[in-house]
Structure 1
Amino acid sequence: MELYERLEELDAGKAEMRASRILHGLGFTPAMQRKKLKDFSGGWRMRVALARPTNHLDLDACVWLEELKTFKRILVLVSHSQDFLNGVCTNIIHMHKEKLKYSTGNYDQYVKTQLELEENPMKRFHWEQDQIAHMKNYIARFGHGSAKLARQAQSKEKTLQKMMASGLMERVVSGKTLSFYFPPCGKILPPVIMVQNVSFKYTKDGPCIYNNLEFGIDLDTRVALVGPNGAGKSTLLKLLTGELLPTDGMIRKHSHVKIGHYHQHLQEQLDLDLSPLEYMMKCYPEIKEKEEMRKIIGPIWNLSDGQKCRACLAWLAWQNPHMLFLDKPTNHLDIETIDALTDAINEFEGGMMLVSHDFRLIQQVAQEIWVCEKQTITKWPGDILAYKEHLKPKLVDEEKRTPPKKLNK
């Protein structure tokens, strides 16, 4: 009876319908919901698991997932997407120096609160340091002078000792900051890359991914490619680099252009037995590293996924490319590294094409939004936040109006 009561409480009779509705929101058609997991790619499997929600989800699914904000029970999540944290979270727990600090509000409110909390202690720290420096200077100058000045110096020395004994304010250390940059690439005359009447299929009898594409990109191009998983965003970058060849049409590239292509499988090329420094020196023997202490860096196999990504970005930067093709560069990166990458992209002299599920990164670095869908590419008339608003009724309201029918057993 306890089990029956629990099943009734959970509304178990509608469990399959609810599961179907959730999968529908994540982009699974009724036919796909019947397939076995082993027949899906890693990205689609991650949609099912949602173990790390935003790492492998496209923008459509990220927007749908933000509906977690309506979840009526306790939700604990780990994410490095500031936009997602702002849309869902009502409280932030910050792990720092083996302690947990709890604050209310979304991520932006947390950052604002932290700055305010750091401001007063830093003022107190600088005031104390100024007082200490002044007293030490006075003691050193007049400690052996006239009787009157010597007494004043002794008084200041006692005051200094009391300050030291009662404990001084420690310097407030902000979270770790990273510095990252792409070296100057120089100028090359346009057109840098021309795409002329390009169509593409993976197999002769397979579906057409792109049909009759026509566009050009130069060193001032700052484009984010958006669209659902499977629309061909990564495929387009591979076509532009030459990793894939068009089925029809032609892609013309400037004879001197250097392309830096970051993709999610780049880590596989790392030599796991070397340290990041040794790997860089192996790839670029012209680098002369003189800092002996850098040799203590551990081997690459001992690094986290985020640290391996940073090693790949460093390797990419030293290629000194004219064009950056970045395919999901923020996967596994923490917020501080994403901010550093954002600054580096904005300071980069060359062109950039970006595939990302991070709305905040796109908003900060992209000047144009190109939508990859239905075998073609169209320029979105607004910014990425307008595109996000466009997705919401499509993925949320539509689902509420017409929930999918229960699948047959």
Structure 2
Amino acid sequence: MESQERLLDIYERLDDLGADKAETRAGRILHGLGFTKKMQQKKCKDFSGGWRMRIALARALFVSPHLLLLDEPTNHLDLDACVWLEEELRNYKRILVMVSHSQDFLNGVCTNIVHLHKKQLFIYGGNYDAYVQTRFELETNQMKRYQGQQEQMAKTKGFIARFGAGSRSSQAQSREKQLQKMIEAGLTERVVHDKTLSLAFPDPGKIPPPVIMVQGVSFRYSDTSEWIYTNLDFGIDLDTRVALVGPNGAGKSTLLKLIDNQLLPTSGQIRRNSHVRMGRYHQHLAETLDLNMSALEYMMQCFPEVTEKEEMRKIIGRFGLSGRQQICPMRNLSDGQRCRVSFAYIAWQAPHLLLLDEPTNHLDIETIDALADAIKSFAGGMILVSHDFRLIKQVADKIWVCEKQVVTEWPGDIMSYKDYLRQKVQGDFIKKS
């Protein structure tokens, strides 16, 4: 009898978990995060670190806990997977607490924003844009109250100073009591804005076009592997501002490596201006730093022509590292600070063309905004791979879609491309429901 009751309990629990649909549901989650059917059968140990992060994210979503904690969930995703995850989390029925540097993603998912400021938590209703607007209004009103109190206190102190010992000393004493009560009741604090960061890439100077010519280029990694690209033709100049988009595995990073001469075309040719300098930022660039060295030592070693430490300090300081951060071992820096060292390294080469492969990973929102401003004021060209819709919207003039072995220009802007991806995701949800 006891065993039958236990068996019934197990069956009820399996029904609650939806065990009969578990494999289908797992496949849907993995598909949404970019895993093909063939990839879903591979062992976890055979995947790279970035894909293992996706597996960990898929596991968390599959378990569907009462409290889901996500720390930068979009870091290893492409735009397709970001849109899928946004739609998935938008309808999450339980508690979700998330840290993310993607404003667009926060806008699509969050209903409340928690701001950590001066070791206190401040809760704002609405998405990220609503938080920014509400915080601006609150700080504007706070500043008005602060200025009003300061003016009132100055007038009161002036009255007390002028009439404290004369015929109007009783009025002065009354004013002094009013002033004391105001102080005891608590004065409005002066608004202290978050420290702003300013990044800058130097003017590389002019070189005549064409800077890069890609002519009839096809590429695959080996004679037995599939073609990544076939018969590509396009040009790049100093006024090029392009974002590469497309599903994971379509070859966006590969294209940057071909342009940067890190890979050679299987057929066709890539002609480069003999004077062109290129600076390529990629996700693993910070991993090449010697963490036993300080940022100052590393940069002095890379650029021995800079003999004055103070000059190099200024160069590093332009990317938000100052004081002790420049002289301590880089292993003591955060991931975001190490990324800034990498940006300083690229900037000092004064490249004509920036090749940026997921530059926002490990950067906070303020640094991303500073990077966007630096790119907009940069006098050279730029090709960007990013999962951050907001950054792409700010800096890219054209959207190139890498898919099915070709590169085609998207007819609209990045937000119209996001709408296209969202419609595709919603269509997949309907088919699988």
Q: Please say whether Structure 1 and Structure 2 have the same fold, judged by a TM-score greater than 0.5.
A: yes
Whether 1:354 aligns to 2:373 is no
Contact 1:46-1:57 within 8 A present in 2 as well = no
CA distance in 1, matches of 2:374, 2:93: 40
The superposition leaves residues 54-94 of structure 1 with CA deviations (integer Å, 9 ceiling, x where unpaired) of 00111111111112211222222221111111111111122
Which of 266, 284, 288 is matched with 2:303 structurally? Answer: 284
| Counterparts of residues 9-24 of structure 1 (less than 5 Å) | 9-24=16-31
- 1:320 maps to which residue? 350
Q: Structure 2: which amino acid aligns with 1:72?
A: K
* Identity rate, percent: 64
SS in 1 for 2:310: coil
The superposition leaves residues 351-407 of structure 1 with CA deviations (integer Å, 9 ceiling, x where unpaired) of 10000011111111100000001111000000011111111232331342146xxxx
CA distance in 2, matches of 1:318, 1:299: 21
- 2:94 maps to which residue? 73
Give the structure, 1 or 2, with the largest relative contact order (CA under 8 Å, sep 6 or more).
Answer: 1
Whether 1:174 aligns to 2:202 is no
The TM-score, its normalising length taken from structure 1, stands at 0.89
Cα RMSD between the aligned structures? 2.7
- 1:5 maps to which residue? 12
Which of 408, 415, 419 is matched with 1:389 structurally? Answer: 419
CA distance in 2, matches of 1:306, 1:236: 25
- 2:51 maps to which residue? 44
CA distance in 2, matches of 1:296, 1:54: 31
Whether 1:214 aligns to 2:233 is yes
CA distance in 2, matches of 1:221, 1:202: 27
SS in 1 for 2:21: helix
CA distance in 2, matches of 1:46, 1:185: 38
- 2:63 maps to which residue? none
Q: Structure 1: which amino acid aligns with 2:380?
A: G
CA 1:131–1:189: 2 relative to 1, 3 Å: farther
CA distance in 1, matches of 2:409, 2:146: 52
- 2:67 maps to which residue? none
- 1:406 maps to which residue? none
| Counterparts of residues 7-406 of structure 1 (less than 5 Å) | 7-50=14-57, 52-67=72-87, 68-133=89-154, 163-164=182-183, 166-285=185-304, 286=306, 288-289=309-310, 294=322, 296-297=324-325, 298-402=328-432
SS in 1 for 2:372: helix
CA distance in 1, matches of 2:17, 2:215: 57
SS in 2 for 1:77: strand
Give the paired residue count: 401
Q: Structure 2: which amino acid aligns with 1:263?
A: H
Greater mean alpha carbon deviation, residues 280-289 or residues 303-312: 280-289
CA distance in 1, matches of 2:350, 2:151: 45
Greater mean alpha carbon deviation, residues 365-374 or residues 63-72: 63-72
Contact 1:182-1:320 within 8 A present in 2 as well = yes
The TM-score, its normalising length taken from structure 2, stands at 0.85
Q: CA deviation at 1:269?
A: 2.1
Q: Structure 2: which amino acid aligns with 1:49?
A: A
User: Which runs of 5 or more residues in structure 2 are unaligned?
Assistant: 1-5, 58-69, 315-320
CA distance in 1, matches of 2:388, 2:427: 22
CA distance in 2, matches of 1:154, 1:313: 61
Greater mean alpha carbon deviation, residues 147-156 or residues 201-210: 147-156
CA 1:139–1:256: 2 relative to 1, 3 Å: farther
SS in 2 for 1:76: strand
- 2:66 maps to which residue? none
Q: CA deviation at 1:288?
A: 3.8
CA 1:128–1:315: 2 relative to 1, 3 Å: farther
Q: Structure 2: which amino acid aligns with 1:381?
A: P
CA distance in 1, matches of 2:364, 2:426: 28
User: Which runs of 5 or more residues in structure 1 are unaligned?
Assistant: 404-409
